[in-house]
Amino acid sequence: MGKSTELDVAYVSKLARLNLTDEETRLFEKQLADVLKYAEKLREVDVSHVEATAHAIPIFNVFREDEPRDWFTAEEALSNAPHKANQLFIVTKVVE
Amino acid sequence: MSRSDLPALTIADLQSLLRRKEISPREVIDALRTRIESVESKIDAYLSIDFEGAAKEADKADVDLPLGGVPIAIKDIINVKGQPCTCASKILANYRSPYDATVIQKLRAAGAIPFGKTNMDEFAMGSSTENSSVKVTRNPWDLSRVPGGSSGGSAAAVAADAAFGGLGTDTGGSIRQPASLSGVVGVKPSYGRVSRFGVTAFASSLDQVGPLTKTVRDSALIMNAMAGHDPQDSTSLNEPVPDYTKNLGRDLKGMRLGLPKEYMIEGIDPQVKSAVDVAIKQLQSLGAEIVDVSLPHTDYGIAVYYFLATAEASANLARFDGVRYGYRAKDPKDLLDHYGRTREEGFGAEVKRRIILGTYVLSSGYYDAYYVRAQKVRELIRQDFVKAFEKVDAIVSPTSPVPAFKLGERTADPLAMYLADIFTNTGNLAGICGISVPCGLAKANGNQLPIGLQILGKALDEACTFQIAHAYEQSTDWHKARPKL
């Protein structure tokens, strides 16, 4: 398990596409260092013979027939869009 | 019965009056409205209420349905068609639900009226409801204290007779802990028991929807309407749903209840400990046998929980990108600026903190050390319960180590806030079911503060926890205690 000081909040915020102020970055660095220090106790546990659990109850792949169903109209799907026109989501420019 | 007495009724008693035509569903809505208008300025439990829509539904309500004409308050993370669904976040401030969550469809089919949306910690991340971006909800027992969280709005509304029952969500204790701190009953169903379709996801391997009510019977009635398989939620289990009211009234003879020695930790409030000790004696006097059990990995629960819940949250909250719905930052200069500022301006501090922690534990170089290791310890925690349940029918403990704490007391220290879930989060990690039922009143500065008893049951054995909780509740008067507002 990594050392708690390895959490570079400024770098992780870029991965998360989440801008932070300098003040937030400093505050989170300190607070999350405390959390990581607390969590160091997980290193004590012998997990060498344990399978990781993704879900507490075993659930396997669930399939359904791929059939058309009634669902949202375009208007309904766009009803909460921050920016829309011509029944389309308007997005920020992606290509130069 | 005078109209002003109606809001104090349980759902079961309200239904009797409705079915005997002594009152009409419209009178119920009107009486509830009057009550909410008189207490809401003190507790601030609701984010939005549609009294006009509720009155229209009341006028055509069929009182012979299982929840016919019963108004239910809904945590603002569950979609109710045409209503706001903000998750108490600025990023969804203007969002209106285009559809009903499956639990809402099921409640409507049972005749219930979802009339208002309750306050919560933003995206259900918190244990005090102080992380709401909108307002602070206050504990009806002491307005200087938190109602618990994250389902604090529903808990406070039910405790204040400003709702007959409410829905919450529980990822690490977010139904049971506010139920305990506010003096009401709260149920976390087993993983897969209730559909999450239409419920904004926080940590998908942990989240469950459940009721908060004045009595165990009322929770059983809501669970009867709500539980079961949903093709729209591939994690919901296709297992039969029993009638949860069937075992209510049975005694506890032959019932074996486990007392985990790991739950008697330092830092547990002496008044909580003594109330739970008395409750355990009461359960014995009702015929239950108390058995010592061990859940040796309990102490790792919080650490496992915060790695897994934040990892899942960082992935789930990636959908808030300012493209299809929700807030979008003004005049982004490019796509990275669009994402980065939309999320900076839209999310509150605790949500940001958890996205950072979750992104970190999933990031290259740390994934195995943090995320995979946490999943393995989770499996050990699950096995602890499997072994314990070979010896006992259910496990009893305090719900929260402390009664309601003061507003602002823990906001500066995220770790202290995380420890509020110490007795509840392992139940989510193991996928089992749990219920919190009032078991005492602590005294603090001249006020009374509720204490909750947690009963944990095997996966899909909600009926057993309802039987125990009901037998206990009916043998005490704690559920009749009400805050003076």
Segment among A7-11, A64-68, B304-308, B341-345 with least mean pLDDT: A64-68
Q: Which fold is adopted by the domain B8-256+391-480?
A: Amidase signature (AS) enzymes (3.90.1300)
Residue B263: which pLDDT band, with cuts at 50, 70 and 90? confident
Is B75 assigned a catalytic role? yes
Chain B positions touching A12 (Cβ under 8 A) are: 356, 359-360, 363
pLDDT-above-70 percentage for chain B: 100
pLDDT on residue A5: 52
pLDDT of residue A54: 67
Q: Is B474 exposed, middle or buried (0-12, 13-18, 19+ CB in 10 A)?
A: middle
Give the model's confidence band at A4: pLDDT under 50 very low, under 70 low, under 90 confident, else very high: very low
Query: What residues 338-357 of chain B have any CB closer than 8 A to a CB of chain A?
Result: 338-341, 343-344, 347, 349, 352-353, 355-357
For B197, other C-beta atoms within 10 Å of its C-beta total 19
Q: State pLDDT tens for residues B306-365.
A: 999 999 999 999 999 999 999 999 999 999 999 999 999 999 999 999 999 999 999 989
Mean pLDDT of B254-258: 97
Reading the block at residue B469, the tokens are 């909780």
Report whether pLDDT(A95) > 90: no
The answer, yes or no, to whether residue B204 has pLDDT greater than 50, is yes
State the pLDDT confidence band at A56, using cuts at 50, 70 and 90. Answer: low
The pLDDT assigned to B264 comes to 80
- Condensed to tens digits (0 to 9), the pLDDT of residues B103-147 reads 999 999 999 999 999 999 999 999 999 999 999 999 999 999 999
For chain B, what are the domain ranges? Answer: 8-256+391-480
Name the average pLDDT for chain B.
Answer: 96
Q: Which of B48, B75, B89, B236 is catalytic?
A: B75
A3 Cβ contact partners less than 8 Å away, ≥ 6 residues apart: none
Task: Report the pLDDT value the prediction gives residue B420, as an integer from 0 to 100.
Answer: 83
CB B269, CB B403: distance < 8 Å: yes
pLDDT of residue A71: 86
**Residue B150: per-residue pLDDT:** 98
Chain A positions touching B300 (Cβ under 8 A) are 41-42, 45
Q: Is B166 at the interface with chain A, CB within 8 A?
A: no
The confidence score (pLDDT) of residue A2 equals 42
Interchain CB contact of B82 with A (< 8 Å)? no
Tell me, what's the pLDDT at A60?
Answer: 73
Asked whether the predicted pLDDT for residue A3 surpasses 50, the reply is no
Partner A, chain B 5-64, Cβ-Cβ below 8 Å? none
Q: Taking Cα atoms as reference points, which of A7, A3, A2, A1 lies closest to residue A31?
A: A7
Q: Do A45 and B297 touch (CB under 8 A)?
A: yes
Pairing of strands B113-118, B46-49: antiparallel
Distance in angstroms (rounded) separating the CA atoms of residues B270 and B292: 21
On chain B, the residues whose CB falls within 8 A of the CB of A41 are: 299-300, 303
CA dist., res. B17 & res. B474, Å (int): 21
Chain A residue closest to B416 (CA)? A35
- The model's pLDDT over B406-422, given as tens digits with 9 standing for 90+, comes to 999 998 888 888 888 99
How confident is the model over B393-403, as pLDDT tens digits? 999 999 999 99
Find chain A residues with C-beta within 8 A of B376's C-beta.
Answer: 45, 47, 50-53
Q: Cβ of B190 and A35 within 8 Å?
A: no
- The interface residues of chain B toward chain A in range 304-343, judged by CB-CB distance below 8 A, are 304, 306-307, 314, 318, 321-328, 332, 334-336, 338-341, 343
In sequence order, the 6+-apart residues with CB closer than 8 A to the CB of B175 are B151, B168, B169, B186, B187, B188, B210, B211, B212, B436
User: Are A18 and B366 in contact (CB < 8 Å)?
Assistant: no
Instruction: Write down all domains in chain A, each with its CATH number in brackets.
Output: 4-44 (1.10.20)
Mean pLDDT confidence for B266-273: 91
A13/B314 CB distance under 8 A: no
Mean pLDDT across the stretch B198-222?
Answer: 98
**φ/ψ bin of B446: left (φ > 0), alpha (ψ from -120 to 50), beta (otherwise):** left
Mean pLDDT value across residues A49-59: 75
Which candidate in A38, A59, A92, A94 is best for mutational testing of the B interface (most B CBs within 10 A)?
A: A92
3-state secondary structure B437-482: EEEEEEEECCEEEEEEEEEEECCCCHHHHHHHHHHHHHCCCHHHCC
Poorest-confidence range of A34-38, B225-229, B256-260?
A34-38
Of A24-33, B7-16, B179-188, B408-417, the poorest mean pLDDT is in B408-417
Pick the more confident residue, A63 or B203. Answer: B203
Q: What is the share, in percent, of chain B residues with pLDDT greater than 90?
A: 95
- In total, chain B counts a number of residues equal to 485
Mean pLDDT, rounded, for B375-404: 97
Please tell me which residue of chain A has the smallest CA distance to B324.
Answer: A81
Q: Which of B461, B429, B240, B205 is nearest to A59 (CA)?
A: B205
